[in-house]
Amino acid sequence: MNEELEKIECLIIGSGPAGYTAAIYAARADLKPVVYQGLQPGGQLTSTTEVDNFPGYPDGVQGPDMMIDLQKQAERFGTDMRWGIISEVDFSKRPFLVTSDDGKKVQAETVVIATGATAKWMGIESEARYNGHGVSACATCDGFFFRGQDMAVVGGGDTACEEATYLAKLGRKVYMIVRRDELRASKAMQNKVMNTPNIEVLWNSVTKEITGDGKVVTGALIENVKSGEVRQIDVQGFFVAIGHKPNTDLFKGQIDLDENGYIKTVPGSTKTNVPGVFAAGDVQDHVFRQAITAAGTGCMAAIEAERFISMAE
Ligand code: NDP
């Protein structure tokens, strides 16, 4: 039975900057990596437009184009790129038994988990319509496009506060749209927001609609849930910062996760609590969440997988 199983030295689950970078390094180390690309080949960057902060692209690059470049680079060194989703893992013993959604089972000596995280959205129609055209879930990525302009940030957690204070430095005015009458964020972040003169917090407020000219965002309709009053704000950038969900449902019970579902890694490395299983990118990082940091940890994961295999031999 076992003889029929495909044996893989390095299985990479996920195809964002972390997964593809792990593949480039693993392929060049002759680990013959197999990448399962998952639901959204290329990951979160395939739903953004301009990427201006990834080193090496002096004129910027479209997110989807960058991911095609990364895929091609991984393939150039012989990465086996596969459409499909991993639906089951068994990390209880090595080699690890992994099943894809078409029922295929493989045995992997090492696994790099790079399944990323998914930004949460409010779920209103206009939010999806203007995504990438004024609506964003990443201030560090897209704030620059709105410098000198007015912006809104939805959310009351640490991320929303951090994004609002970051955007306040770039823009003229930032509205924070908070659904309750208090912030969830840490006291330090709350103080930062309150001490930033060009942030106006709209308490007890929800977004009815993001308005635009059919091409880009021009404002939003905000309802005060206490008074029922609806007001129009004029903004060019609309940032949704209501949390992320790490894509780790598959690994529950197999690997240590933190209280928010992110994979726990040993500080300064991509090692998880299961020897031979490594985690890279946003699936283990709720702080930085950048393509370049994801790529960096993808590189680390491949190097650690290669070292793990050579020690095991
Ligand atoms: P959180 O889950 O902490 O906060 C989400 C915020 O969004 C809450 O204020 C919540 O409101 C609000 N919200 C949720 N859904 C909606 C909705 N549909 N419409 C409007 N508002 C909504 O997420 P964060 O991303 O802020 O933080 C995640 C974790 O990362 C936290 O543990 C945080 O402390 C940590 N973090 C730490 C940082 C740091 O230390 N520098 C920086 C960033 C994050 P409500 O409060 O009413 O539920």
Residue 278: C-alpha distances to residues 105, 206, 226, 293, 310 (Å): 20, 40, 47, 15, 15
- Helix/strand/coil for 191: helix
How far is ligand 1, taken at its centre, from the CA of residue 160, in Å? 7
Q: Is the dihedral of CA 261, 267, 271, 272 positive or negative?
A: negative
Regarding whether 104 and 13 lie in a shared domain, the answer is yes
How far is ligand 1, taken at its centre, from the CA of residue 259, in Å? 14
Catalytic residue IDs = 138, 141-142
For ligand 1, atom 46: residue with the closest CA: 184
Pick from 216, 254, 291, 305: which is nearest to 97 by CA?
254
For ligand 1, atom 14: residue with the closest CA: 242
pLDDT digits (tens, 9 = 90+) for 209-251: 999 999 999 999 999 999 999 999 999 999 999 999 999 999 9
For ligand 1, atom 3: residue with the closest CA: 157
How far is ligand 1, taken at its centre, from the CA of residue 64, in Å? 28
Mutation pick for ligand 1 pocket among 138, 163, 242 (CB with most ligand atoms within 8 Å): 242
Q: What pLDDT sits at residue 53?
A: 87
pLDDT digits (tens, 9 = 90+) for 46-91: 877 778 889 999 999 999 999 999 999 999 999 999 999 999 999 9
**Local confidence band at 1 (pLDDT 50, 70, 90 cut-offs):** very low
- Separation of CA 109 from chain center: 26
Regarding whether 236 and 131 lie in a shared domain, the answer is yes
Token representation of residue 80 = 């086996």
For ligand 1, atom 25: residue with the closest CA: 243
Regarding whether 273 and 262 lie in a shared domain, the answer is yes
- Helix/strand/coil for 306: helix
Mutation pick for ligand 1 pocket among 153, 165, 184, 262 (CB with most ligand atoms within 8 Å): 184
* Per-residue DSSP letter, 127: H
- End of a domain among 220, 240, 260? 240
Q: What pLDDT sits at residue 2?
A: 46
- End of a domain among 223, 240, 257? 240
- Helix/strand/coil for 223: strand
pLDDT digits (tens, 9 = 90+) for 27-51: 999 999 999 999 889 998 887 777 8
- Domain count within the chain: 2
- End of a domain among 240, 259, 281? 240
Domain range for 132 is 121-240
Instruction: Please report which residue ranges of 38-156 form alpha helices under DSSP H.
Output: 63-76, 125-129, 139-142
What residue ranges line ligand 1, CB within 6 angstroms? Answer: 122, 154-160, 162, 179-180, 184, 242-244, 260, 286-287
Regarding whether 110 and 259 lie in a shared domain, the answer is yes
Q: Is the dihedral of CA 295, 297, 303, 309 positive or negative?
A: negative
CATH label of the domain that carries residue 73:
3.50.50.60
Regarding whether 286 and 260 lie in a shared domain, the answer is yes
Q: To 10 degrees, what angle do helices 187-194 and 158-170 make?
A: 30
